Every structure is written in C-alpha cells, then in structure tokens.
Amino acid sequence: MLLNSFWGKRTSSKDIAKERLQLVLVYDRAQIDPSTVDLLKEDLVKTVSKYLAFDPANIKVELSQENNTSILRIDVPFKTKS
Amino acid sequence: MGKSLVVTSGKGGVGKTTVVANVGTGLAMKGLKVVLVDTDIGLRNLDLLLGLENRIVYNIIDVVEGRCDITQALVKDKRFSNLYLLPAAQTREKEAISTDQMKAIVDELKKIFDFVLIDSPAGIEHGFKTAIWGADEAIVVTTPEVSAVRDADRVIGLLEANGLKDPSLIANRVRFDMVKNGEMLSVEDLLEILSIDLLGIIPEDENLIISVNKGEPIILGADKYKSGLAFNLIVKKLLGEEVSWNELEKTENFIEKVFKFLRG
C-alpha cells in the first residue's frame, strides 16, 4: 500500500483480477485462441499493406464484448504525414 | 411434483458438496421433503458431510443396474426423517450411468420429494452432463478467485446450451475484509463479470472445516456461525423470501469483534 502510494499508482489486485478475467472470458466465450487473433492480425497487415500506406505497429486487432455479443475490432490508423 | 436443482461449479473444491449438504438440511429443517443425490461416481463425499457414511447399503448404480429399488437405496438422515441421501457408487466410473438413466431417477424422486438437490462432480465431462440432465434449475458455486470464476463462466455457458437458462450464483469463501481493501473480487464484481443473478453469499469460515470433521452440517448451528447464517439466508431465498445480505457482513463484523475482544 505504502509503496503503491509512493509510486503514485494504486491499482488494487482486485482490479487486476477483474481486468484479466474480463479479457480471458471474451476469448473463452467466443471459443477463439488469442493466437488465432494474432495470426489474423499478421494476415491483415499483409493484405492491407498491398493497398494502403499505414503504420503496421499501430494496427489493433482485438476481441471485445458488448451487450453479450463478441465483437472483433480492427483499427488501422493511416500514417500521419509530418 | 417436486423441483430438481443441480449444484455445479466446473472447478473442484469450491464448495458444491458443502452447499448441497447445508441447503438440503436447511430445507428439511423447514419441514420440506428433501433428497440429496450424489452424482460424483467414484469420488463420493456427500455421505461424509452428512455423517451418513456408515449407513449406506445400496447406491445409485445399484438402482440403475436393477439390484434394488430406488427407495431401498435412499439413506435416511440421522436428524431429520424428511431428509434422504441417494449415495454415489464409490468403486465405479462416471460412465456407469447415462444421462437418460439419471433423468429417470430424478423424475422418480420428484414424485416423492419437494426438493431434489443434485450434487454434480467437478469438470465439464460426462459426469457433469449426467448431473445436469434431470435438473429443472441450476445453481453455480464459485469463489472470488480468477480460476474459479473462469470455470464458472464456462459452466454457465454449458448450462444455457443444455436448456438450463438463468442459473443463479452462490459466492463462497468471501472475505469481506479483503474485499474492503480491494484485494478480493466483490460479489458485485462476480455478478457483473458472469452476468448472473445472486442466490447467496457464504463468508469464509473456519468453523466449516470443523463441521465437516464431525459430519454435522453447519446450518444446524446457524445462529452461532456466520456460514450457518449464510446458508439459512440461501434457504429462505430459495423458498421465495426476500433476504438482505447486509445482515451477513454486519454479523461477521460483530462476531469478529467479539473474538478479538475475547482474545484480548
């Protein structure tokens, strides 16, 4: 506790448990392995790269749960010209 | 026609059998005719929790294989003449009974008893499928640990896939002090994560170990123990009464304070 406040961070172990559970249950309920999503991500990067210029490091592919439905979210941010 | 309830959890050791023994005894204390069915073939324990291990003559597999009538296999409780146990076989395997055979037995028992409580084995294989087959409703037991909650979620999915919609949850081994410090998932967290209704909360209680040692369900001394009180509330809720769980936390604090005071 003291150490946590010292570092200015107070994430309780309960919050960690809840976050981990919610994440793992999204995959459990959809019956998909996290590794499958990783493979999908790799393929997506390859495919999208053929047509568009974007930063592969920022591509996000993740499962989430909304109103009892599993949703696959794919975020492909374009490269910002600087 | 009585009602059949299966008590299940996925993960082992979270308190299924304890729940069946205590809720069953509690319902019998209210004067209802109750039978407890142990479906954990090969790993029977419900007899021990009730202190009936020396009275078993026949078991559920003897019924299935025609060596006795269902009524011959029922073991009458020591304390309540309206409470019975249908024991599991200890020397056989889960596959010795089929889902249809289980349903036939439970249907038969529902004709005689007000409540048929089915104690399911851990896991989600054949034994689990058999246990849930004859049930009208399901109760899921979990503890506030990530592993138990994950398994409970899996079981809830399987129950719903098998037609047992809207199971209710019993949160066992809750430590209100740890919840308060943010070091344990709260009951509200469990309900939110699992999207399930609450049937009961059982606080962690070392007296439960002593009650199992003696083969006397803790609900028999309900007013003395916080877990006994908790089981009493579950029985009331099962019978349709409104219950408040705040009472439980207050009692825990009170009992703890008394103990602290006595220890000096």
Q: Residue A12 is nearest to which of B150, B157, B182, comparing CB atoms?
A: B182
Residues 6+ apart with CB under 8 A from A24: B150
- Cα separation of B93 and B80, whole Å? 31
Q: Please identify among residues 40-69 of chain A the ones whose CB lies closer than 8 Å to any CB of chain B.
A: 68
- Segment B122-143 mean pLDDT: 97
Instruction: Give one DSSP letter per residue of B30-96, joined into a string.
Output: TT--EEEEE--TTS--HHHHHT-TTS----HHHHHTTSS-HHHHPEEPSS-TTEEEEPPPSSS-GGG
pLDDT(B142) > 60: yes
Give average pLDDT by consecutive 10-residue segment, chain A, 82 residues.
54 93 91 88 88 82 80 82 60
CB of B154 less than 8 A from some CB of A: yes
pLDDT digits (tens, 9 = 90+) for B74-100: 999 999 999 999 999 999 999 999 999
pLDDT digits (tens, 9 = 90+) for B21-34: 999 999 999 999 99
- Cα separation of B138 and B169, whole Å? 9
Q: Is there a contact between B150 and A24 if contact means CB atoms under 8 Å apart?
A: yes
Residues of A in contact with B193 (CB under 8 A): 18, 21-22, 25
- The amino acid sitting at A53 is A
Q: What are the two backbone dihedrals, phi and then psi, of residue B117, each rounded to the nearest 5 degrees?
A: -100, 125
Burial class (CB in 10 A: 0-12, 13-18, 19+), A37: middle
Parse chain A into domains and list their residue ranges.
Answer: 34-82
Residue B140 CA, distance from chain mean position:
9
Question: B138 with B164: CB under 8 angstroms?
Answer: yes
- Cα separation of A11 and B6, whole Å? 38
Q: What is the pTM of this model?
A: 0.88
CATH of the domain at B91: 3.40.50.300
Residues of B in contact with A13 (CB under 8 A): 182-183
- Cα separation of B159 and B228, whole Å? 28
The number of folded domains in chain B is: 1
* Domain with B69 in it: 3-263
Q: How many CB pairs under 8 A join A and B?
A: 35
CB of B179 less than 8 A from some CB of A: yes
Report the pLDDT value the prediction gives residue A5, as an integer from 0 to 100.
52
pLDDT digits (tens, 9 = 90+) for B195-206: 999 999 999 999
Instruction: Give one DSSP letter per residue of B98-164, joined into a string.
Output: -HHHHHHHHHHHHHH-SEEEEEPPSSSSHHHHHHHHT-SEEEEEE-SSHHHHHHHHHHHHHHHHTT-
Q: At what angle do helices B126-133 and B99-112 cross, to 10 degrees?
A: 30
- Cα separation of B61 and B92, whole Å? 8
